Structure 1
Amino acid sequence: MARSTAAGIQYHGIAGASAECEAAVIRLVQCGGHIVHARILSHTNRHALLLTDAIGDQIAIKSGFSSGYGGTGCKALSFVLAVLFAQDIEIDECKITQAQMTRLDRSALTSRDLERCNEGPVVRPSRWGDEYIAARDLDRAHHGKLWRQFPSVLPYSVIDPRLADLARDFWDRPDHCLTVGYRRLEDSVRSRTGLADHGQKLFHAAFEPAKGKLAWPTPHRAERVGRRELFTGVFGAYRNPRQHREHPQSDTLAEFLLLNHLFRLEAEAVPFDEAPALTEDAADRRGA
């Protein structure tokens, strides 16, 4: 294969647009890209990134980053490098030519360009940790606080199928979706048990460890009690205030995922007479 052929890698971001390039890195980290190496590609005070994943595939992030002066490009470079550092991703830097940077920004790196980006001499001494990352971002990386700037994302892969329609509409109507979801969970338990109760009373009766209508396939009393208390606790702490306040205080996404976990637990429960016989050992007695 001729070295002048296209490199054939992915490109993300928009040259000169720091917000888009920062968002591209966050998406790759947040959505499980399994990045293992990041190389900063630098020409004067302009910077791009070449990311390598666990199987060796590479992704170029265009030159939306900068250094040497205040501005959004510097802030974006500081933030994404702190994020990569916090993920224990190996980081280094090499210099490239203006022509190579231009081809990268046009999604047109050649195989020779890519070879030089990968094999070019690493900048020594390393300057990215001292010069490119602001102290505030480094401090947040050390204390696990960088993720607070990540956009909230619904993890669809773990959403119970019975909440699929609500998950789809969640960002438009979070309060409505939560309210309907709580009612739907109660309806499901009433349908399975024949009970006519509501809320905490319903779950307390349905999942009573020794004589309830439903039970989890574990013989340990403490586990059954603990799971039942999850239902009653969530309804007491979140569902009830939502029913009586116009603006309940909660992180709606976290609450939706908590509700989703109750749906998953409810799906695991079996009719009481199909569950293992209840046992009670010393650990169960301490946890009951």
Structure 2
Amino acid sequence: MKKLNQASLSNRELISIQKNKYIRPIRIYDYIYDIYKTTDYQVKNERYYPGILPFHLIDSRIFDLALKFNDDPNYSILTAYTRLEDIVKVKINDQSLFSNNLLKTAFISDKQRQAIYSWNTGNEKISNALGCLFTNIFTAYRNERAHSEVDKPYPKQLREFLLINELYLLERESIRR
């Protein structure tokens, strides 16, 4: 192709090109999706994918933090955790509980007691699993930030903010028993 663009093909090369049988993809996706057979393409070309928050998916209660995210991701993330904890305290009307105990009381049922809130899944086990997911994500990520200085790469912080956003959405969907 380089020789063709420079108009420097020899007669032998022209004859060879004319004699070659063309093999064309049958469908358009044969052209496009061949490069996506593995995730290597995405890893090698991540610079082509914008690292921005999908603002249309962000819960309105942390939208202000999403707008500030690029300037100071650590502040936005930690503030989102604190705000979520305050929302749950008000929701269950108990200011004495914190972090893991607060979320377990609000969302996880056990043999001794039922959680104050659940999700309308039609299945208690699924609702309890959502409560465990909520509590575990909050505890795993928030405790790390609350007890030490965190310096993560921007893509990881972006993913963490989206996880917090999912917790806000789950909290909004929860219903009082």
**Matches of 2:51 and 2:118 in 1, distance apart?**
34
Q: Aligned in 2, Cα 1:219/1:195: closer, same or farther, shift over 3 Å?
A: farther
Q: Which residue of 2 aligns with 1:239?
A: 142
User: Aligned to 2:29, what secondary structure does the other structure show?
Assistant: coil
Q: Which residue of 1 aligns with 2:5?
A: 44
- Identify the match of residue 163 of structure 1 among 48, 62, 69: 62
Instruction: List aligned pairs for 1:121-200, cutoff 5 A.
Output: 138=35, 141-148=36-43, 149=46, 150-196=49-95, 197-200=97-100
Instruction: List aligned pairs for 1:21-32, cutoff 5 A.
Output: none
Letter in structure 2 aligned against 1:200: N
Scaled by the length of structure 1, the TM-score of the pair is 0.45
Letter in structure 1 aligned against 2:41: L
Q: Which residue of 1 aligns with 2:133?
A: 230
- 1:216 paired to 2:119: yes
Preserved contact between residue 242 and residue 248 of structure 1 (Cα < 8 Å):
no
Q: Aligned in 2, Cα 1:232/1:238: closer, same or farther, shift over 3 Å?
A: same
Preserved contact between residue 207 and residue 214 of structure 1 (Cα < 8 Å):
yes
Scaled by the length of structure 2, the TM-score of the pair is 0.71
Q: Which residue of 2 aligns with 1:264?
A: 169
User: Aligned to 1:88, what secondary structure does the other structure show?
Assistant: helix
- 1:203 paired to 2:103: yes
Preserved contact between residue 107 and residue 132 of structure 2 (Cα < 8 Å):
no
Q: Percent identity?
A: 32
For structure 2, the 5+ residue unaligned runs are 7-27
Q: Which residue of 2 aligns with 1:117?
A: none
After superposition, the C-alpha distances for 1:136-155 in whole angstroms (9 at most, x for unaligned) are: xx5xx431233331231211
Q: Aligned in 2, Cα 1:159/1:89: closer, same or farther, shift over 3 Å?
A: farther
Q: Aligned in 2, Cα 1:195/1:248: closer, same or farther, shift over 3 Å?
A: farther
After superposition, the C-alpha distances for 1:153-175 in whole angstroms (9 at most, x for unaligned) are: 21111111111101111011100
Letter in structure 2 aligned against 1:243: A
Instruction: List aligned pairs for 1:76-115, cutoff 5 A.
Output: 88=29, 90=31
Q: Name the one with the larger helix percent.
A: 2
Q: Shift in Å at residue 248 of structure 1? A: 4.7
**Matches of 2:141 and 2:74 in 1, distance apart?**
11
Letter in structure 1 aligned against 2:29: D
Letter in structure 2 aligned against 1:259: I
**Matches of 1:226 and 1:185 in 2, distance apart?**
19
Instruction: List aligned pairs for 1:69-80, cutoff 5 A.
Output: none
